[in-house]
Amino acid sequence: MSRLLDRFLFPVDRRFILAILVVLASAGLQTASSKAAEGEIELSVLPFSGACTLVDNAPALRTIYVLHSFNPGATASRFRIANGPGATMTYVSETHAWSNTSGDTQSGITICYGACVGNEFVLATVTYMAYGTSTFCSRLLVAPHPQAQTVEAINCSLTPVPTYVQDLDINTGTSSCGCPLPHVFPGIAQQFGCSPLETMPTTWGSIKALYR
């Protein structure tokens, strides 16, 4: 009887366990591929991915980089940046890496890239005034544009897609909560675009005068 059980029961158990492992692995692959497909709007203290912790322990100007990372190809994105609970830094100014930009990061920004662009790149550089008063484990947040349901991009097929977001951890310098987990806002991505770049009327004579 014992051998009979060994022959039939334990193989079933192993197959059951293997099935669970396959499901879990599949879920992990789907999460990873989803992140790769949709990209990520990320806050970083350096002009590249992964530097997602900022120290606020004394009055000083702090620079935050907004990145589009894990991006296989997109033509535009839109979002805004907000202080989370406990974050006391105040916005000072920003510059944009892309000329066809509408709005700003605080009230809602739309950035059109002008082509299908992939990999990782800086969208905006934002300056904040820190006072050394932010509470431990507070956050600077990536949030949906006021006209959108989710943080979103337009992919290279001109289809709107939600993106992951990577918020910024703010700590007091003695310890850190570590990088917040990337996440996706619920909601449906919507079509959007940028206003055409402004042009100035001119004449052929004015153009020729530039080269004299």
Domain ranges of the chain: 1-38, 39-171
d(CA 109, CA 83): 16
- Residue-wise pLDDT for 109-120, tens only, equals 999 999 999 999
Q: Give the containing element (helix H, strand E) for 93.
A: strand 90-96
- Residue-wise pLDDT for 146-199, tens only, equals 999 999 999 999 999 999 999 999 998 877 788 999 999 999 999 998 766 444
Partner residues linked to 21 by β-bridges = none
Higher-confidence position of 17 and 64: 64
Exposure string of 29-66, with b = 16+ CB inside 10 Å and e = fewer, is: eeeeeebeebbbbbbbbeeebebbbbbbeeeeebebbb
CATH class given for the domain over 39-171: mainly beta
CA 156 to chain centre: 17
> How high is the pLDDT of residue 196?
63
Count of H-run helices and E-run strands, the chain: 2, 11
pTM of the model: 0.76
- Residue-wise pLDDT for 66-124, tens only, equals 999 999 999 999 999 999 999 999 999 999 999 999 999 999 999 999 999 999 999 99
d(CA 82, CA 130): 14
